[in-house]
Structure 1
Amino acid sequence: MTEIVVTPSDDAIPRRFSDFATLGEALDYAAKGLKGFNFHDARGTLVRAYGYAELRDDALAHARRMVARGIGRGDRVALIAETGPEFASLFFGAVYAGAWPVPLPLPTSFGGASAYVDQLKVQLDSCDPLMLIYPADLAAMAGEAARQAGVVGISWQDFAGEAAPDAPLPAADPDDIAYLQYSSGSTRFPHGVAVTHRALLNNLAAHSHGMLVRPGDRCVSWLPWYHDMGLVGCMLSPVANQVSADYLKTEDFARRPLAWLDLISRNPGTTLSYSPTFGYDICARRVSSQMHVAERFDLSRWRVAGNGADMIRPDVMQSFVEAFGDAGFNARAFLPSYGLAEATLAVTIMPPGEGIVVEMVAESELAGGTPPAAGAAERFRAVVNCGRPVRDMAVEIRSDDGAPLPERAIGKVWCRGGSVMTGYFRDPEATAACLVDGWLDTGDMGYMSGGYLYIVGRAKDMIIVNGKNHWPQDIEWAVEQLPGFKAGDIAAFAITTPAGEEAPAVLVQCRTADPAERARLRDAIRERVRQVTGMNCVVELVPPRTLPRTSSGKLSRTKARNLYLSGQIRPYDLAA
């Protein structure tokens, strides 16, 4: 049996930093070399080396199959984004065919088959694709979602078996849409972010320069390909910057997190790898006092340990350093960043080698200037420096009325640059709400200091836990399905627990005076939210007419959160 060998970290073709007109041109160039993707099993054993030349051949064949099915410029092709050569070749196949690939998520461990079918159905209705292509082992669920959405569904094994007759492929324009990116968290209110070739390549060039990509660099990733960091940062960037990449499936990382560090250790070329905070956290927690980390791991070559996608917690980063310092991990390898799909990916990146830098900010400032309740001590939170704007990106901090704010004043983060999206697919109202004169209102809160961006809170309403986005409307809707509750009774938002972790909190207006019934309702709400979102949450029952509203009568989650954190909303004491 022939031994499988990983694609090399270096080859003869000169490095180009994403200076291509289209994504197809980027793969055409990368295919001239020997680099590529490498797929590993749960134990980190190489099972498939997939050079960029082979990827290109397979993608062109898929493009011809799509053209034979009548798929053309501007049509959407939905793809279940399982990490592997099949998705990669189908994604680029759609690009070569002039269509827009739409990566959609894999099923999670919670919610069951019906919840997954419902999620796919909503996203298929939103992007209106001509086809949904999926792994054969998901045929029952994905096929049912396609049937309900009136979309052609086919397994990628069956699709790959179809004829690929010669056909002319359209020439892409840099301002054509390259793909649609969906937020992972929204099931009832999906927003498809439309990203052009020009915007994508602008951002890929910007963050490759920001990370100072060097000859011999190599990437390792377990991030899912249906998230912007996994798709753009760890799949498309290696192609456009000619970097070999090694992959674990996300579900394999979840079962054996230390396999990620094993893979980094075994491959002498590995220098680049990204993770949200929770990835570093779970690895640090898996280290036991009996484990000889210096013998098992060699992390000395890990030059860029990127961190993004959720709030960066300095205590977790310190725990990781303490757990793996003996294995050669250098704390200055940490590279905090800030970005979002609406800007393609990166908005700011910490210059390599500067590591984690924090500032202490009063909770009263973070809560919008709301003072602590009488007699309560002021609390402070460590806020992490997320770096400087990437090349061609401008960042401003603005007040609620849009006026620019001075240094160190907390406000909304706005950005403008060549990689900002053209808009949300078929949603002009949502687009107009966040794109103003070329500037993108990210909805996130932060401040600038010395040219660096500090993020103090995620999007106004978004709840981000373990790197996943959760829309509060979805949580509120789940509670509304329980008997006795209605729209407007529930406010969901993110809080920082005493342990320093981000968690969802749900305030529910309760009309019963029976303590036993209140306790039952609290448990029922917690279980309902867990079933729908997979998250454990803080549930607080509050008196009727407690939740604040705007002047137009809408629920104000931001004000509810501020009043709750300052002690001005007082929940029922269920222990009484």
Structure 2
Amino acid sequence: MTAVDRFCSWLPYYHDMGLVGIVLGCVATQRSVDYLPTRDFAMRPRLWLKLMSMNRSTISFSPPFGYTLCARRLRPADTQELDLSAWRVAGIGAEMIHPESLQEFAIAVASAGFDDRAFLPCYGMAECSLAVSFAPLERGARTDVVDMDRLAFDGEALAVPAGNTTIKGKAFIDCGRPLPGYELEIRDDLGQPLPERRCGRIHLRGASIMSGYFGNVEASREVLSADGWLDTGDIGYQADGSVYITGRAKDLMIIMGRNMWPQDLEYLAEQQPEVRPTDASAFSIPDEDDEETAVLVVQCRESDPHKLTKLTERLQQAIHSEFGIHCLIELVPPHTLPRTSSGKLSRSTARKEFLERRSLEAQQEPRSSMPTDVQRHQPVAERAAS
């Protein structure tokens, strides 16, 4: 950090990145910070960039969806009025990072002087008083492309050789090495440490690890060991000392023997023009044969039944083409998907509410008149969006 650094933030104060990373960070370092109300950012994301341009801010952090929202909403005329050349640290964290969303943002604001080397991926959580690792400064967001099938079926993050087009690869963001004083281990389901490029649960130990959850001894015992190790609940792997996050253990879906992450299905949905960032939630439910079936609930403002049907078909085709699985699609009105207090999607609550809607529909429309294969594979309740 330099003497001329100036922060800018739209993050809510109750969010750990907003509170610890920005509010307390600026108090501790005595740096100036410009705040944009979170609601204003959600309604007009370009105000964030406008404020940074006006005050020549050098440091700002956001979850990935913030960058995606800006890229989607910016018009060419908007960038002509911006000067983002002073922005030297564009931090990204708090949720899974898709390299494509960062590229989309960088392209959208390149004419405003933004340098994509400013991207600073990081990994952290409230249980660690926030930061665990940072990628190197002024290097930008680097990726590790691994064999998608080996990762899904064997849990091995096998690097795909550069230029190889025969292997289906998936890119994960390098979140850097653990900060000084932190120990990090990747462990299997039995708690045994795994070597590099093996995917498992991330465990941490360090001075800023919490002593426990307030007023919840049982929950504290579930994640904290007697010798100070924290089970983060995150899944990832290490390569050359850097940590790569692949998802959350509680969100992992096992479909036809394949490990799948809800973020991948949600990302495919968000690429559709009718779907906004964070307007999709994926999870799995048991089918009639007690096998897991993927479900994708998508918020959509479209009301034309024909267009809704086309959207459902596009989503199913995209998912089948990418992952080779069938997925139940439910289109719902805006503001249906539940969120946490920090604004993140709550997949567990979305799953619960989906099952409740499905149960209600079964009571209203007996499924006995429908062929078994249609019951299992028919997209769920497109009419919910009308």
TM-score range, shorter chain: 0.5 to 0.7
Check whether the contact 1:493–1:504 (CA below 8 A) recurs between aligned residues: no
Deviation at 1:392, TM superposition (A): 1.6
Mapping for residues 343-382 of structure 1, pairs under 5 Å:
343-367=128-152, 369=154, 379-382=168-171
Matched, 1:412 2:193: no
The CA deviation at 1:527 is: 6.4
SS at match of 2:376: coil
Distance in 2 (CA, whole Å) between partners of 1:347 and 1:431 is 19
The 3 A distance-change label for structure 1 pair 426 and 493 is farther
Distance 1:444 1:526 in 2: 29
Structure-2 change in CA distance of 1:300 and 1:540 (3 Å): same
Aligned to 1:312: 97
Q: Secondary structure at the match of 1:530?
A: coil
Name the counterpart of 1:83. Answer: none
Please tell me the residue identity of whatever aligns with 1:239. V
Q: Which residue of 1 aligns with 2:298?
A: none
1:537-548 to 2 correspondences below 5 Å:
none
1:283-340, Cα deviation, whole Å (9 max, x unpaired): 1111224x152x3111111110000011111111111111111111011000000011
**Residue of structure 2 in register with 1:446 after alignment:** 236
TM-score, structure 1 normalization: 0.46
Q: C-alpha distance in 1, partners of 2:147/2:193?
A: 22
Residue of structure 2 in register with 1:55 after alignment: none
Q: Which residue matches 1:243?
A: 31
Letter in 2 for 1:367: A
Match of 1:499 among 264, 268, 285: 268
| TM-aligned CA distance change 1:280 to 1:571, over 3 Å | farther
Which digits, 9 at most, give the CA deviation of each residue in 1:546-575, with x for residues without a partner?
xxxxxxxxxxxxxxxxxxxxxxxx982216
Tell me which of 67, 79, 88 is aligned to 1:303: 88
Confirm or deny that 1:285 pairs with 2:72. Answer: yes
Q: Choose 1 or 2 for highest CA Rg.
A: 1
Amino acid at match of 1:330: D
Q: Comparing 309-318 with 500-509, which one deviates more in the overlay?
A: 500-509
Q: How does 1:22-171 map to 2 (within 5 A)?
A: none
Determine what percentage of the aligned residue pairs are the same residue: 43
Q: Is the 8 A contact 2:155 2:199 kept in 1?
A: no
1:367 Cα deviation after fit = 3.2
SS in 2 for 1:367: helix
CA distance in 1 between counterparts of 2:148 and 2:210 reads 33
Structure 1 counterpart SS, 2:127: helix
1:176-195 mapped onto 2 (5 Å cutoff): none
Partner of 1:572: 376
Give the aligned length: 293
Query: Which structure exhibits the higher relative contact order, with contacts defined as CA atoms closer than 8 Å and separated by 6 or more residues?
Result: 1
Is the counterpart of residue 230 in structure 1 residue 18 in structure 2? yes
After TM superposition, give the deviation of residue 529 of structure 1 in Å.
9.2
Counterpart pick for 2:114 among 325, 329, 350: 329
| 1:526 Cα offset (Å) | 5.2
Change (3 A) 1:237 1:370: closer
2 CA distance for matches of 1:338 and 1:500? Answer: 25
Q: CA deviation at 1:420?
A: 0.5
Alignment deviations for residues 382-403 of structure 1 (CA, whole Å, 9 cap, x no partner):
1010111112212111111111
What is the CA deviation profile of residues 460-517 of structure 1, one whole-angstrom value per residue up to 9, with x for unaligned ones? 1259xxxxxxxx9xxxxxxxxxxxxxxxxxxx98241262757422444577xxxxxx
Secondary structure at the counterpart of residue 249 of structure 2: coil
1:455 aligns with 2:245: yes
Aligned equivalents of 1:524, 1:329: Cα separation in 2: 38
Distance 1:571 1:343 in 2: 45
Quickly say closer, same or farther: Cα 1:360–1:500, change in 2 above 3 A: farther
RMSD of aligned C-alpha atoms?
3.6
* Secondary structure of residue in 2 paired with 1:499: helix
Q: Is 2:54 the partner of 1:266?
A: yes
> Cα gap change, 1:571/1:242 in structure 2, threshold over 3 Å: closer, same or farther?
farther
Q: Taking structure 1 as reference, are residues 575 and 399 closer, same or farther at Cα in structure 2, changes over 3 Å only?
A: closer
Amino acid aligned to 1:494: P
**Offset, 1:362:** 2.9
Residue ranges of structure 2 left out of the alignment (5+ in a row): 157-165, 254-259, 271-277, 289-308, 310-327, 357-373, 381-386
Residue 427 (str. 1) matches residue 216 (str. 2): yes
